A = this chain, B = another copy of it.
Amino acid sequence: MMMAMSENGSLRRGRPGYDQQGILEVAIAAFNQYGYDATSMGVLADRLGLSKSAIYHHFASKDEILERALDDALSALEGVLGESGATQGRAADRLEAVLAGAVHVLVEKLPSVTLLLRVRGNTEVERRALARRRAFDRAVTSLVEEAQAEGSLRSDIDPSVVARLAFGMINSIVEWYRPGGKEDADRLAGDVIAIALDGLRMPTSNRVDELLG
């Protein structure tokens, strides 16, 4: 039961119960479990312990719930692109900062990012979210291109393929990572970045062979 608090921690006026954020969190969990399309407002109401119509006091529509959730995830990911580690320095370092930042966003906002990564495109809300995702992907691809031009990233593979595969790996976290599991968030980020960057860097095998003659 989400007891709505005012910003200074005192109890707010009005009937106790869920607030918008409380509804949103339960909705995201249900959407992730059953899929957005297969989650009816009835199922959601059951999960909340409310009537269906009570939900409409908080959100105008099912679509609006989705839009709020997706915006949360997208804003966090877009925020990674604006951080100082992603805007200054060599392209390879910036790329590493973006990948690490993305992993942290995935872990910290696992429910809403999970929902984002499963969006289909059936509604206008979904299509707008997909457009924002594509813009993010393009920014990452540009970074890969720059790092390849610097010579610090393998250039035998098309930059858009590199970006997609790297994010394919990172995004797979939402399918199996569970907070409190065997891997803590920092260890996970370290592991993911290690594999991704080792796969992306200029291969050093030739260098070893060269040195050994």
- Interface residue count on the A side (C-beta < 8 Å): 45
A10 at the interface (CB under 8 A from B): no
Partner among B37, B165, B203, B207 whose Cβ is within 8 Å of the Cβ of A169: B165
A 160-192 to B, binary, CB cutoff 8 A, 1 in contact else 0: 011011111111110110000011000010011
Question: A165 to B207, alpha carbons, bound, how many Å?
Answer: 26
Cβ-defined contact, B191 with A157, below 8 A: yes
**A interface, CB within 8 angstroms of B:** 33-35, 37-38, 118, 120, 122, 156-158, 161-162, 164-173, 175-176, 182-183, 188, 191-192, 194-201, 203-205, 207-208, 211-212
Cβ contacts A to B, 6 pairs, < 8 Å = A34-B120, A37-B37, A118-B118, A194-B199, A204-B207, A204-B208
